[in-house]
Structure 1
C-alpha cells in the first residue's frame, strides 16, 4: 500500500568505507558513488551483484512541513498523483509498467519532511525504470486533470478513514501534535491532512506544489543493486539532464518546541475498549547530539521485561500489559512519547502515579552498565538486517544525504550511539523529562470519561458525519487533451530490456536427526547473520474447543523464563548476544524463530534449547499473561478489522471446528485455562517427529546440524495423532452477514468461501488466475475499478489462503461507509464477470509478472527462509519455482477461465460486512442474496 508513516526510529547503518562492529572484530563495507547533474539532481549509486535485481528510488525533500495551514495533506496527496500517469508512460503509469516487468510494485511514502518513490525490479529493466522516474519528475504535471484529482481525493480520504477515523486510538497523534506544536509550526498538522483540506484542493494548488518542490535540485535518485555503473550513469544523463532546474530551495530552520505549561486532554474513542494514556515531551530533531542518549533512555525505560516501566506497571501494579516508549525525531523537531494501554476499567490517574514513581526511582538509580551494554548489543544486528536488501541500502543512502547532508554521516552516528554513557542517559532524562511540561492525552471508551486523568479538557477531534451521496461525482474515463512537454528525443518509446536475469535457486541442504527432526538450510554469506525457525506441527489444530487458546498461551509462556533463568534473565541473555528469539502459535504449528549474528549463533541456539526443553512454568507470569490476553480480546471488540477476521472464520469453518475460534481463545476459555493445561499440551503435542529446523544465512550444514544435536538428543520422540480435518464446503447459496459497529466511518468487507489446500495441484494455478482479479495490486481489476475507477477504497485484494487443509478464498477491503452497497455490488459483478472476460492481454500481463518477478524472489534471508518453509509445510520439490515457471508458460486463457469458474463463485460466498447498520444495512438486500443477517443484533441500534 502506498503511504507508510513510521514513527519508531530504527538504527540502520550504512557507510562508504568501513563500519566497526561493537566488538571491533568484524568490518563491513558498502561502497557507493555520488554525483550531481548540472540541474541539481543528486545521484547515488551502489553496486550489489548478489541477486539479479536493482532498486530505484526517487526521494523529494518535501513533506507536510512544507505545507500551509488550510492546505494540509498536499505532499501526501501528491505522492498518490505521481503514480497515476505521466506524459510518456501513459495511463496507469508505474503501476502498469511494474506488472509487465516483474517489479515489486510501485510504492511510496510521505513523512513530515520527505516523500519517496521506490521499487525493486529485475536487473534487465533498469533503463525502463530510469526512463519512468525521469518521466514522473519532468513530464508529469500536464496529465493531472480535474477528474484525476477528484478521484484521488477520494482515495486519500479513504486512506485517512482506514488508518485514522475507523480504528481505536486513531486520533492520538492529531491531538498530541495540535497541542505540542504551535499553530504556525509545520508539525502542528498531520501528514495525511484533513478531509476538509483535501476536498478543497484545487488543480492550481497541485500544479503550484509540483512546480515548487518537484524539481531536480530538490530530489535524490538512488540506484542500488546489480547493474553496470557506467551504463547507469549514461542512462541517468540521457533521461534527466534536460529537466530544468527549479527555484532555489531554502533550508528550513530547526524549530524545537518549548511548552509553557502541561496540557491534559481526553477523548471518548468510538472504537477503543480500553483506556490509553499517552505522555509526550518536546525532544530534539534528528541527529541532534542528545538524540542518541534519548533513544537509549526510551529503550531502557519502556522496552522489555527489564524495563523499569514494565516492572512497575505490568508486574507490580498490574495496570497494563502494553507499555511503549520511543523518541520520534524529525528534521525540525522531535517528541519523546510514552504510551500505556491500561486494562479495562483502570483509572489513568493510577497509571500516571506509577509512571512518576518509576521516574523518581530511575533518577536515583540511573541505568546499570549491563543494561546499557545489552541495548547497544542490538545495534550490530540491526545494521546487518537493515542492509539485507538493495532497497534498504538505497533508502538509507538517500536518508542521510537529505537529513545529514552526507551519506557517510552514519560512521559518526554509530560512534555517537556506542559512546553514550550512563551519565548521558541520566542527563537527558533530567533535561527533557524531569519536571518538564508535557502533553497528556487520555483516550477512553465511550461513556468512561471518569477513567481520564483528572482536570483533563475535552480534546478537539473532527469526526466525519455519515451522509449518503456526500461525495462528488467524477468520470475517470473522461478524455482530456493536454500539451506535451518538448524533449530532445522521443520519450514515448519505452526502452528495451537489457540481458536476461538468471533465476538463481539457492542450494538447499538437509539432514535428519536421530530423534526424527528434519533439518533444512541455505548457506548465504552476504551478511554475517543467521535466521532460523524451529517449526513444530500442531498449533491450534491440536486444541480442544473447551481449551481454545491454549497453544497461543503456551507459546507466549515459553519466553517467560527457563528452569535456569528468570524471565528478565532470559531476555537479558538474548539481548546481550544482539539476538532475537520469538515463539508463536498459528493454526497449524508452534514456531521458535529468530535471528542472530553468525558469531553468536551457537550461543543463541543454546538459549533456544533452554526455551524448548527447560520451561519455567512461572505461576506469576502465567497470571500476568492471562490478564494480557483477556485485555487483547477486549481490545479486539472495538477494532472493525479484528471483528471481520474473527467473524469470517466462524462462517468459513463452522462452530464445530476449532479453526473457527479466535487463536487467542475466548474470554471464557482463557479464564478457565490452568498452567496444568499448558503442561499437558506441551507434553502431548510437541515432538521432534513433527518438527523441522530451518536455517539460512552465514551458517553451513555441519554448523546447523551441530547446533541442534543437543535439542535432538534430549527431546523424547512421541507420535502425535493429528485430527482429521473435514473438507470444508461452499455454502449452497450466498448470504450477506452484517456486524454492527455504530458510527463506523468505513465498512470492512470480508467476502469469500472455502476453496482449496496449498497441497492441491491447482493451488498455484489458482494463484496465477487470481493475479488479475485481486492479487496483483494495481494490476488487478478489483483495485482498478474500486480504487482507480470509483475512489471507493484505499485498497482491496483477493487471495487464496495457503494451508495444508482447505483454506478460504478471500476478498478484503475497507470502503467509505456511504457507498457500502455500491461497492459490494461492484465487487460481486467483477467476480461474476471475471471468468468470461479474462482474455489474451490479461494472460500476457499475468505471465510476464509471474515469471519475471522470480528474479527477486530470494533476495533476502527472510525470503529464503520462507522458501524452505513452503517446501517443509506442503511437500514441494526443492526446485518448485522452476516447476511453477513451466506451469505458467503452459497455462492458456481457457485454463484461467476454468479455474475462475471452479474456485471463485460469487453466488456461493459469504458476504461479511462490518460497519454502521443504522445507515447501511437495509440496502444490502438489493444484492439479491436475501435479507442480511445481523450477527450482533442485541448490540445494534437498528
Structure 2
C-alpha cells in the first residue's frame, strides 16, 4: 500500500485546480507538456513536465533554498505485476538494481553517491518501485548518469553470484522484518484472506520464501525487459537546479535508451466477501491482536477522503470512539482504525490489543458496539473541523524538504498521469461534508463482511475471537497471459563515452543557518533561527536529567518517562481529550518525552495559530492536572509494555547489552521505562514530587526554528517567566562495569529465525572537535557508512544479514561503541567471526589511502544536506546549546576532517577498538546456535531475558579450538554495499 498524502489548507489562499500549460505532442523531440507556477500564497508545488521521444516523463521542481538536489526515478511496477508462484520478485529486482551495470562497477552506485556527499535508497510497494538520491547540487549530472546506466545497461552486469547474494539478503530481510518480528505476518495473512487467490494484492511485497527460492536469473532478466523501459518510468528532479539544466542532461543520458513494451494500467473489481472470514495464527507475543479489515476504495477515489475521516473518528487519537471505549477504560493497550489505499484497492482496518483479562471475542463485540455508537452520534462539526485542520498542517509540513515535494510529484504523475494533484486533493478535503462520511460508512462498512484476524500467543489457539472458517481456495483461478514472451535486450547507441564518469561542478556554498541567542530571566537558554520556507514554527525544549535523575532512587526507575507521559494528559483547565481536540483544530502538536539524559517538550504550529498553541503549551507545562485515573491507566500500560519486551528480540538485546556494559548499581543498566518492580513502586505522589523537584527552567534549553523573528517570538513566550526556577542536582555517573576479557553472552529465543548480535564496550563522551569526532571518522569506514567494511562483509559478501553497522554513541557521558546486526540463525557463529575479524583488521592494519580519500569526500560534502528542514536546523542549534559549542564548530570539524592523516586514524583504531575486551551478546535459538558458538574459543555465559546468569561455560582449550579468533583477514573481492532501513508491510526499502 502506498503512502497517501492527506492534505488540506484552511485559512490560506487556496490553490485552485490549475489547468496546465500544454504543448503540442511530439514524437521526434522533447517538448514542454505542462508547466505549473505558484500564484500568490497558493499551496502548490511548481514544476515543469516534459516527455522524451522514448516515453520517459521528466518532471522538474526548481527550489534554490538549499544547495541540494533530489533525484527520483519511479517505475510503474510493483508486486502487483508479479505472477502466482513468483511473489517478491519486484522487490528482489530492486535489490539487483544496486549491483552494478555496464559502466558502473559492482555496488559502485552507492559508493559514488556516498563519496559525493549524498544519500540514496530504493523502495518497492504493490504498485511501483522507486530509486532516489539526495546530493549536493553540483552532483546532479552524476546522479542522472548513474540512474540512466542501470535503466539502459543493467543485464550484462548481472551474474548468478550477485543473484544468489541478493536472494540471501532478501530472505534475511523477510526474516528480520516479518518472520522474526512480533505481529510481522499480519499483513500477509490478511491479504491472503481478503483478496481472491491470484489477485495481485493477495500476497505481500516481500513475497514467500519458497517463491524467492524458485526464481531464476532468466526470470530476473525478463522482469527487467518487461517493466523497466523509459516509457514506464518518471524521472523527477527537485532542488537547486533549472528545468533547462535537467532536461539537457536527461536527454543526454536517457534519451537514447529504447522504449520498452507498452504497459497498460490495471483495473480490478473490489473484493467481495459473502461472510465474515475468521482466520488466526500463533505468534511469539504477549498481547493477542484482533484486526477487522473491510474492502474499501483505491487511492484517489472520490470516497477516499471520507473514509480517512471516518477512520479518524472511529480510532485515531484521544477524541476517537475506540480510545474512549477501550483505552480510557483500560480494556485495551491499543486500539486504532486506518484506511490504507493502493492503486487497485483499499483496506479499512480496525486493530485492538486487549489487556490480559479481556478476550478477543470481547474486543470484536466492542468494535461492533463502536459502529452502533457512531450510527447514533454521527459526525460532529468538531470532528470534521479536526480532520480538515490537522490535514492542513500535514500538507505544509510535507513541503519542508525537497525530497518530500519530489515524492509527491512522482507519485501523482505515476498513478494519475499529472503531477498537479495537490490542489485537487485540497479541494476534495475542503468540500467534505458530514453526510459524505455517513454515506461511506453505510456503503463500505455497515452490514459488510470483514476479514477478522486473531493473533494469539503460542500455545493459546483457543484464545481466538472465533474459530477459523476460511482457507485459501485456488479453484477457478486462471493464470493471466504470458507477459514475458519474445523480449529482447537492445542497448542504447550513443555519441559519447558513457564509461566516463561526469565531472562535478563547483562545490556548492554551504551556509550554516544564522542564529540568535538569548536568555529568559528564570534561566532558560534560548537559541533560534528564522526559516521562511514554510509558515510554521517549531519549539524544542530539553531539560537536563531524564533517566539519570533516577539514580537518586533506583527503586523507582522509569519515573521520568512516566512523568512525561502524565504531562501529555490533562491540565488543570482541560481534559486530555479537550486538549487533543483543540490541537487538532489548530493543526498543532505538543508532546512530552524522556530519554537517558533529558526530558523533552516538542511543539509544532502553523504561524497563524501559534498564540493559541502556546496557550495550550502553558496549560500542559505549568498546570498539569496529574489525575489519578490517568496515572492508573498509564501505569498499567507501562507494566504491560515492560512484560511484553521479553517477546521482542531486538529490545531484549538492547536492554541486556546495556546491563552488561554499565553493570549493577548504574542507572544506565536499567531500561528508561523502568522494570516491573520499579514501576510498581511508583505512586502519583512520586510523579508530582519528581515534577516539582526536576521540571525546572534552570536546566532548560529552548530551540526555536520557524517563520518568526527573535523580537516577535520572545514576547509570546512571556508566560515562561511564571515558571519558577529551582536547583536540580544531576547525579554523578556511577562506575561502569569493567570487561576483563571478551566473552559471549547468550540469551535463548526458541525457534527464532534470526539472532540479534551486539558487540562493544563503554568508549567515549561526545566531543565535537576532539577524539570522539575523530573516532567517528574512523568508524565511518569500519561500520558507519553503507559501504563500510562490516556491512560489505556481512551483507554483501556473505549474505548473513539485511544490514550490519557500528557506531560510537557518547553524550555528556561516556557512551558505548557498538557493532550490531540481526543475522540469520544458521550464520550466527560465522557472523561473530566476521564482526571480530573486521574490528581486529581495522585496529591492526588501519585504513588505506583510498579509504582516507573516500571518508574526506563523503563526510565533507554531506554537509550540504545538513540544514534543510526545520528538524535538521533544530538539531544543529540544540547541539550548540547542549554542548556549549563554539559558533564555528562546524568549520573546525571540516578542517579536522580535511587535515586528518592515515596515521591519526590508525592510532584511533588502536586506542578505541579493544577487541580483546568487548562483550559479545546474542539473542537467538540456543539449540541451533550454541554448538557453533562453542567452537569459537570464547567463554559462554547463558542469561535470561533480563540479563540474569543461568549458566557459565569455560572457554574451550586452545588445542581443541576449531576457529581461533581473532582471525587473520582472508582475501575477498572488494565490494561496496548498502545498509538497512526499517520497513513496514506496505513499502519495502532496500537499505
TM-score by length of 2: 0.89
Match of 2:57 among 42, 57, 65: 42
Question: CA–CA distance in 1 between the matches of 2:657 and 2:271?
Answer: 47
Partner of residue 339, structure 2 = 327
Partner of residue 505, structure 2 = 498
**5+ residue gaps, structure 1:** 1-5, 462-481
Q: Please give the secondary structure, in 2, of the residue aligned with 1:28.
A: coil
Partner of residue 114, structure 1 = 128
Partner of residue 844, structure 1 = 853
Partner of residue 509, structure 1 = 516
Partner of residue 792, structure 2 = 784
Partner of residue 78, structure 1 = 93
Partner of residue 917, structure 1 = 926
- Residues 346 and 451 of structure 1 are in contact (CA less than 8 Å); yes or no, is this contact kept in structure 2? no
Q: Please give the secondary structure, in 1, of the residue aligned with 2:467.
A: coil
Q: Please give the secondary structure, in 2, of the residue aligned with 1:91.
A: coil
Question: CA–CA distance in 2 between the matches of 1:291 and 1:380?
Answer: 17
Deviations 1:604-654 (A, max 9, x none): 122111111101111111111111111211221101011111111101111
Question: CA–CA distance in 1 between the matches of 2:795 and 2:560?
Answer: 39
Q: Does 1:236 align with 2:250?
A: yes
Q: How does 1:826-841 map to 2 (within 5 A)?
A: 826-835=834-843, 836-841=845-850
**5+ residue gaps, structure 2:** 18-38, 474-488, 954-991
Following superposition, the deviation at residue 13 of structure 1 comes to 7.5
Q: Does 1:198 align with 2:212?
A: yes
Q: How does 1:805-824 map to 2 (within 5 A)?
A: 805-824=813-832
Following superposition, the deviation at residue 485 of structure 1 comes to 6.6
Question: CA–CA distance in 2 between the matches of 1:560 and 1:26?
Answer: 36
- Residues 384 and 527 of structure 1 are in contact (CA less than 8 Å); yes or no, is this contact kept in structure 2? yes
Report the CA distance shift for 1:547/1:29 in structure 2 as closer, same or farther (over 3 A). same
Partner of residue 404, structure 2 = 392
Q: Does 1:92 align with 2:121?
A: no
Deviations 1:413-463 (A, max 9, x none): 1111121111111111111111110001110111222321122359889xx
Match of 2:352 among 331, 336, 340: 340
Question: CA–CA distance in 2 between the matches of 1:238 and 1:40?
Answer: 14
Report the CA distance shift for 1:845/1:938 in structure 2 as closer, same or farther (over 3 A). closer
Q: Please give the secondary structure, in 2, of the residue aligned with 1:86.
A: coil
Match of 2:305 among 280, 292, 297: 292
Deviations 1:77-126 (A, max 9, x none): 0110001101111121321111210102x201100000000110000100
Q: How does 1:373-772 map to 2 (within 5 A)?
A: 373-457=385-469, 487-543=494-550, 544-711=553-720, 713-726=721-734, 728=736, 730-759=738-767, 761-772=770-781
Match of 2:317 among 285, 291, 304: 304
Question: CA–CA distance in 2 between the matches of 1:347 and 1:504?
Answer: 58
- Residues 774 and 783 of structure 1 are in contact (CA less than 8 Å); yes or no, is this contact kept in structure 2? yes
Q: Please give the secondary structure, in 2, of the residue aligned with 1:637.
A: helix
Following superposition, the deviation at residue 263 of structure 1 comes to 0.7
Partner of residue 257, structure 1 = 271
Partner of residue 893, structure 1 = 902
Following superposition, the deviation at residue 837 of structure 1 comes to 3.9
Question: CA–CA distance in 2 between the matches of 1:827 and 1:931?
Answer: 17
Q: Please give the secondary structure, in 1, of the residue aligned with 2:647.
A: coil
Following superposition, the deviation at residue 574 of structure 1 comes to 1.2
Partner of residue 294, structure 2 = 281
Q: Does 1:349 align with 2:350?
A: no
Following superposition, the deviation at residue 775 of structure 1 comes to 0.4
Q: How does 1:79-228 map to 2 (within 5 A)?
A: 79-104=94-119, 106-228=120-242
Following superposition, the deviation at residue 256 of structure 1 comes to 1.3
- Residues 8 and 326 of structure 1 are in contact (CA less than 8 Å); yes or no, is this contact kept in structure 2? no
Partner of residue 806, structure 2 = 798
Report the CA distance shift for 1:726/1:674 in structure 2 as closer, same or farther (over 3 A). closer
Deviations 1:285-340 (A, max 9, x none): 00111111000000111011110111111123x22121121111000111101111
Following superposition, the deviation at residue 602 of structure 1 comes to 2.2
Deviations 1:782-832 (A, max 9, x none): 111111101110011111113110111111110000110001111100110
Q: Please give the secondary structure, in 2, of the residue aligned with 1:929.
A: coil
Question: CA–CA distance in 2 between the matches of 1:633 and 1:182?
Answer: 40
Following superposition, the deviation at residue 702 of structure 1 comes to 1.9
Question: CA–CA distance in 1 between the matches of 2:931 and 2:161?
Answer: 31
Following superposition, the deviation at residue 36 of structure 1 comes to 0.3
Partner of residue 326, structure 2 = 313
Question: CA–CA distance in 1 between the matches of 2:108 and 2:246?
Answer: 22
Question: CA–CA distance in 2 between the matches of 1:141 and 1:498?
Answer: 30
Partner of residue 477, structure 1 = none
- Residues 588 and 604 of structure 2 are in contact (CA less than 8 Å); yes or no, is this contact kept in structure 1? yes
Deviations 1:247-276 (A, max 9, x none): 11111113311112111111111x211110
Q: How many residues align?
A: 908
- Residues 12 and 396 of structure 1 are in contact (CA less than 8 Å); yes or no, is this contact kept in structure 2? no
Q: Please give the secondary structure, in 2, of the residue aligned with 1:408.
A: coil
- Residues 756 and 808 of structure 1 are in contact (CA less than 8 Å); yes or no, is this contact kept in structure 2? yes
Question: CA–CA distance in 1 between the matches of 2:603 and 2:220?
Answer: 46
- Residues 122 and 853 of structure 1 are in contact (CA less than 8 Å); yes or no, is this contact kept in structure 2? yes
Q: Which deviates the most, 345-354 or 489-498?
A: 345-354
Report the CA distance shift for 1:7/1:547 in structure 2 as closer, same or farther (over 3 A). farther
Q: Which deviates the most, 60-69 or 801-810?
A: 801-810
Q: Does 1:59 align with 2:74?
A: yes
Question: CA–CA distance in 2 between the matches of 1:78 and 1:116?
Answer: 11
Following superposition, the deviation at residue 561 of structure 1 comes to 1.1
- Residues 278 and 337 of structure 1 are in contact (CA less than 8 Å); yes or no, is this contact kept in structure 2? yes
Following superposition, the deviation at residue 526 of structure 1 comes to 0.6
- Residues 123 and 129 of structure 2 are in contact (CA less than 8 Å); yes or no, is this contact kept in structure 1? yes
Deviations 1:118-137 (A, max 9, x none): 11000010011111110010
- Residues 9 and 326 of structure 1 are in contact (CA less than 8 Å); yes or no, is this contact kept in structure 2? no
Following superposition, the deviation at residue 45 of structure 1 comes to 0.3
Moved over 6 A (4+): 458-461, 482-485, 937-940
- Residues 400 and 409 of structure 1 are in contact (CA less than 8 Å); yes or no, is this contact kept in structure 2? yes
Q: Which deviates the most, 873-882 or 149-158?
A: 873-882
- Residues 261 and 437 of structure 1 are in contact (CA less than 8 Å); yes or no, is this contact kept in structure 2? yes
Following superposition, the deviation at residue 231 of structure 1 comes to 2.0
Report the CA distance shift for 1:857/1:459 in structure 2 as closer, same or farther (over 3 A). farther
Question: CA–CA distance in 2 between the matches of 1:616 and 1:447?
Answer: 43
Following superposition, the deviation at residue 567 of structure 1 comes to 1.0
Question: CA–CA distance in 2 between the matches of 1:745 and 1:635?
Answer: 19
- Residues 55 and 224 of structure 1 are in contact (CA less than 8 Å); yes or no, is this contact kept in structure 2? yes
Q: Please give the secondary structure, in 1, of the residue aligned with 2:756.
A: strand
Question: CA–CA distance in 1 between the matches of 2:139 and 2:264?
Answer: 35
Report the CA distance shift for 1:12/1:346 in structure 2 as closer, same or farther (over 3 A). same
Following superposition, the deviation at residue 27 of structure 1 comes to 3.0
- Residues 730 and 909 of structure 1 are in contact (CA less than 8 Å); yes or no, is this contact kept in structure 2? no
